[in-house]
A and B are shown apart, each in its own frame.
Chain A
Amino acid sequence: MLIPLHGIASRRDLPLPFSFVVIGAVLALGISFAILIFAWRQPRFRRVGGRPLHGLTVLVDNPVVRLIARALVLATYAWAALAVMGGKDLLTNPIFGFVYVWMWVGLVPISLLLGQFWRSTNPLRTIHSGLSAAARVDPQQGLISLPTGVGVWPAVVGLFGFGWLELVQPDRTTLAVLRLWALAWFVILILGAIVFGQRWIGATDPFEVYASTLAQMSIWRRVGDEVRFVNPLAGLNGWRAPPGATAVVAALLGSTAFDSFTNTSWWIQTVQSSSAPTVLWGTGGLLAMIIIVFVSFSLAAAWMGRYGDQPARAYPRLMVGSLLPIVLGYVVAHYATLLIVEGQRTAINFSDPLGRGWNVFGSAEMGVNSAIFNHPTAIAMTQLCAIVGGHIFGIVCAHEKSVALLPADRAVWGQLPLLLVMIGYTCAGLLLLFSP
């Protein structure tokens, strides 16, 4: 069995036509300044608003419904665990698609469509709650309490780790490697939860932090005790980002950008002709990309401290929500076809986790429908819309926050560096899709 050099997908999207890059950049630039100059000067989304949904709240809070949802997700994970621990080291093993496609990319639509679904059904939480119940201890209560300032900082390490596994780790599509990572993830998270209480999972699990961060853009939002149907702009504006959120978002944006960057001829030639090991290049490149995003965003947001009444270092975390739509745009543009095509392959292989010819879910005989690749223009158009749409959504969020945080006459100057940085991210994203 052949192991492709680059993950599980044997095909990437065609480069974005250069005309699309130019159109995207012009749109991003024009609309950004139009919003800056002409948009509202008084905050519009001071309250999340939205429509309270009593019926839905009762439904999702029903213990039986919660139990069923958690059991289903846990069963899916147990099935995947079977594949990673007992399956064969072949690319037909569903675990590769399960981790790199279903989990990493699939959590995005799940979180957008279902809000904080993942936090409620995270199998790590289910297992830890089960263990706590067996030991008759409170799952929230650990042996040592986690300092409050920790926020989601540990998840930055987890997200970097996952990005490294996905993009740098040699032999990442071999079973032994993935098994080691899966075991490490499981042990660190469960042991940590026993020591620090279940808050550890919310602070450390890269998947949960990724999912719950992106769920801030969902149309479903819990306000107080009630689930509401909200305007995603208002919902995102109401997000109180935890400490470390800026680094989390930088890790998400930086690793997606690095994925594209490694596909440029320049990178491939440089790395392949260098005598330094590929792993070193990959690690350095990934780290550099994340740091570039983190530093540029933090500095641009800190500029607002000149005009507002809070210390400069407070602003990156206050403003970081405006980067989430850009992250979403990047993810859609880079991974939509992967999710659609390789997601199907994973579903097919999922019937046979041990490679014994099983067809448990009746999917084994199905074929992958890859007709989407016959429409390269539609794919390119979707990528363009995702990047530009995410950018506009992000700029609107940044503007709203700026007029809420800064005096009315200073809001424009205060948000200008941030606007330029965001335009930079968007143009960089378009150029990386053009992939010279």
Chain B
Amino acid sequence: MKIGGRGTHGALICGAVVLGLLLSGCTSSAEPQSNTSPTSINGPSEVSSPAEPPTSVSPSPPTLNPDYALTINIVISKGKTIPSGEKINVRVGQEVILNVISDTDDEIHAHTGGDGYELPVRAGTPAKGSFTLDSAGSFEVESHHLEKIIVILNAR
């Protein structure tokens, strides 16, 4: 069932990659499509994580391989966020990259177990930042101005 759960995530991610590609080519006026899967891109992506190329071939699933960064594309528009409350698995120590585009100024706040991570976002300007989770647990990433939970990272 655990595997089934991952399979579901995988399906979401496949849809998300497509939308993510579309969005990355669009301007900030891109509207989140509510009838589409959430826009999170997990694992290595040519589009959004040119940094951190894999150093070696690993048999483990790329999304949970700490050698790869986990990229999460976030769209904030008209008071809503995409994704919204989705749960994403991540490895302890794996880099988490946030690509954010928002129609208002905001701050993305990630709980990390310590002081937390803060990414300021200007309206219409793509923002990018990254952090790592150093210990296991379930951590929220939220939009500070909207007071909404974007994703929950389950770090193992």
Contact = CB atoms under 8 A, between A and B. Distances in A.
Nearest to A376: B136
Interface residues of A, number: 27
A12 B85 contact: no
Interface in A368-395: 370, 373-374, 376
A22 B86 CA distance: 23
Interface string A400-436: 0000000000000000000000000000000000011
Interface in A323-357: none
A263 B149 CA distance: 10
Nearest to B87: A265
Contact of A2 (B34, B86, B109): B109
Given A265-B86, A273-B80, A4 B138 contact: no
A5 B149 contact: yes
Contacts of B152: 263, 265, 268
Contact of B138 (A13, A17, A19, A436): A13
Given A265-B86, A268-B85, A376-B136, A10 B112 contact: yes
B120 interface: no
Interface residues of B, number: 31
A6 B109 contact: no
Nearest to B113: A11
Nearest to B136: A376
B138 A15 contact: yes
Residue picked from A4, A18, A265, A435, most chain B C-beta under 10 Å: A265
Contacts of B95: none
Interface string B114-134: 001010000000000000000
A22 B118 CA distance: 38
Given A11-B139, A265-B85, A373-B113, A19 B1 contact: yes
A374 B135 contact: yes
A12 B109 contact: no
Contacts of B154: 14-15
B140 A370 contact: no
A269 interface: yes
Contacts of A267: 85
Nearest to A12: B138
A262 to B, nearest CB: 10
A269 B84 contact: yes
Contact of A4 (B34, B87, B111): B111
A5 B81 CA distance: 15
Contacts of A14: 136-138, 154-156
B147 interface: yes
Given A265-B87, A272-B84, A370-B135, A22 B148 contact: no
Contacts of A436: 87
Nearest to B144: A2
Nearest to B2: A18
Interface string B42-82: 00000000000000000000000000000000000000110
A1 B84 CA distance: 25
A14 B135 CA distance: 11
Contacts of B118: 2
A17 B2 CA distance: 7
B137 A13 contact: yes
Contacts of A17: 2
A373 B135 contact: yes
A217 to B, nearest CB: 29
B60 to A, nearest CB: 18
Nearest to A6: B140
Contacts of B1: 18-19, 22
Interface in A1-35: 2, 4-6, 10-15, 17-19, 22
Nearest to A379: B136
Given A10-B111, A10-B112, A273 B84 contact: yes
A139 B139 CA distance: 49
Contacts of B137: 11-14, 373, 376
A86 to B, nearest CB: 26
B5 interface: yes
A19 B5 CA distance: 12
A10 B113 contact: yes
Interface of A: 2, 4-6, 10-15, 17-19, 22, 263, 265, 267-269, 272-273, 370, 373-374, 376, 435-436
22 contacts: A2-B109, A2-B118, A4-B109, A4-B116, A6-B140, A10-B140, A11-B111, A11-B137, A12-B137, A12-B139, A13-B137, A14-B136, A14-B154, A14-B156, A18-B1, A265-B85, A268-B85, A272-B80, A370-B135, A373-B113, A374-B136, A376-B136
User: Which 7 pairs across A and B sit closest by C-beta, in order of nearness?
Assistant: A268-B85, A10-B111, A11-B137, A18-B1, A12-B138, A376-B136, A269-B85
Interface of B: 1-2, 5, 34, 80-81, 84-87, 109, 111-113, 116, 118, 135-140, 142, 144, 147-149, 152, 154-156
Given A5-B149, A273-B84, A370-B135, 8 more contacts: A6-B140, A10-B116, A265-B152, A272-B148, A374-B136, A376-B136, A435-B87, A436-B87
